Structure 1
């Protein structure tokens, strides 16, 4: 496939309107852009997206989330890899700087926390604010997230709408349906709370699919914090489990930074524990 895969010309043309909407969005700066890829590129990316049983998926399977990721672009199809490269290109980063008003953005080809994501029937992702700094480049502060949804179809009744919550965790202020070829861009902060906490009801064999990429700026003394999972007002006794799991993950995050523990090693352990739970 030749030529640009991302419709950057249209994105640039819409930039004056989009940047104003972005700055004014509630509960935190964000925008939703449809038809980001050309039709040909989107269809090819969907066709290449790994199947639910692909051996390169690694599971994040614990109280606060049940999803799978693939952070190795060399295992992806050629279109998926090329799309990610365009979204990490200087031209697209310049577009993001204009959209968000954040200068000096750095794309992260190492996919620290990003990459391809899938969530299966019954899966969820509790409300959270993302980890705040890169795990290898310690002066890199995480500033912008993009989520490009790669579902061929996603009926509303399957759930999985991404909820955007206010800073006080009092109410969900916006919802984003993971419609195919839709991109959500939002500013990452200590209180940009988001997630899809209710179990998916999609059929077996279907998955909520996305490409996640994160962008950073270099800071002298960035605030370092692990993923901050939060309970919703109606979560009741689940609050204790959410807090305990968040605390355990914070300890893992600190160990990962200090000892160089890999996500792959931990995911193998979590996957084994999940299989034991299912057998029980």
Structure 2
């Protein structure tokens, strides 16, 4: 299927649940606004997307104290279905209806897939609590929404690899959103939108299709520029101290070098026509 056909299916599903999703998002908006929608696509199509994922050796391993996962954004290297599903979420109809659900005016999809694309996480891999980078790659637009579409069949919540939201900080219990097969999760991103992915405990891979939407204005008047800012999990006090120092040092560098010392490689570099 191509991106237009996929987008039509996604659009129809979102519209059918629009009012319910708006209520769900509004009820969470005092902390980190979010909603999730199950059975986004027909199961056979979701399975095809899962099966199209590359092997780990064809992806980029990001492994540090901050995170441990496989990612990819150079989509022309992989099965074309993966690029089609990613850009289906950037269809004007999808962007507009998700903007309406989340009460965000004129959200802007990211053609460059800056920190978007696809990801896989296997046993013991994780993503520590963090704030997403506040801006796009050129630091012109504000990051406002994170879209995560999960495509691993029979993925149990006990397998880990679940989205975690920390609206009340690390001293309080997180909200866990199961990375269930064929589920779309959407969360807002701002200066207090701390989130993570729980360590995978299962001997298999959780697969995810990711997109970000941006805006000319931040979600909150109090939002300020920040780099991707990591924390340690509540039980890892030493990691937390090290990661806070890491964020401080990277923020200091960005005050000197507005766009960073080097270009972030996690973008889709398309051939010029």
TM-score over 0.5 for the pair: yes
C-alpha contact (below 8 Å) 2:72/2:118 kept by paired residues: yes
Pair 1:20-2:23 in alignment: yes
TM-score (norm 2): 0.85
Summarize the alignment of residues 1-150 of structure 1 with structure 2, pairs less than 5 Å apart: 1=1, 4-5=5-6, 6-25=9-28, 27-54=31-58, 57-136=59-138, 138-150=139-151
Structure 2 residues not aligned, in runs of 5+? 267-273
Q: Root-mean-square deviation (CA), in Å?
A: 2.5
Distance in 1 (alpha carbons) for counterparts of 2:167 and 2:251: 22
Matching residue of 2:178 = 177
Q: CA deviation at 1:83?
A: 1.2
CA deviation vs aligned residue, 1:209-250 (integer Å, no higher than 9, x gap): 111100001249983211121234432333223223434554
In the comparison of the two structures, how many residue pairs are matched? Answer: 259
CA deviation vs aligned residue, 1:169-226 (integer Å, no higher than 9, x gap): 32234101111111110111111111024x32221xx222111100001249983211
CA deviation vs aligned residue, 1:57-83 (integer Å, no higher than 9, x gap): 122211110112101121232222111
Matching residue of 1:269 = none
C-alpha contact (below 8 Å) 1:230/1:242 kept by paired residues: yes
Matching residue of 1:276 = none
- For the residue of structure 1 that corresponds to 2:119, the secondary structure is strand
Distance in 2 (alpha carbons) for counterparts of 1:76 and 1:256: 33
Matching residue of 2:214 = 216
Q: CA deviation at 1:21?
A: 1.2
Q: CA deviation at 1:256?
A: 7.9
**Pair 1:4–1:253, CA change in 2 (3 A):** farther
- For the residue of structure 1 that corresponds to 2:19, the secondary structure is helix
**Pair 1:8–1:230, CA change in 2 (3 A):** same
Structure 1 residues not aligned, in runs of 5+? 265-280
Distance in 1 (alpha carbons) for counterparts of 2:101 and 2:109: 15
Deviates more, 1:213-222 or 1:63-72: 213-222
Matching residue of 1:194 = 195
C-alpha contact (below 8 Å) 1:18/1:99 kept by paired residues: yes
**Pair 1:17–1:107, CA change in 2 (3 A):** same
TM-score (norm 1): 0.83
- For the residue of structure 2 that corresponds to 1:7, the secondary structure is helix
Distance in 2 (alpha carbons) for counterparts of 1:252 and 1:161: 32
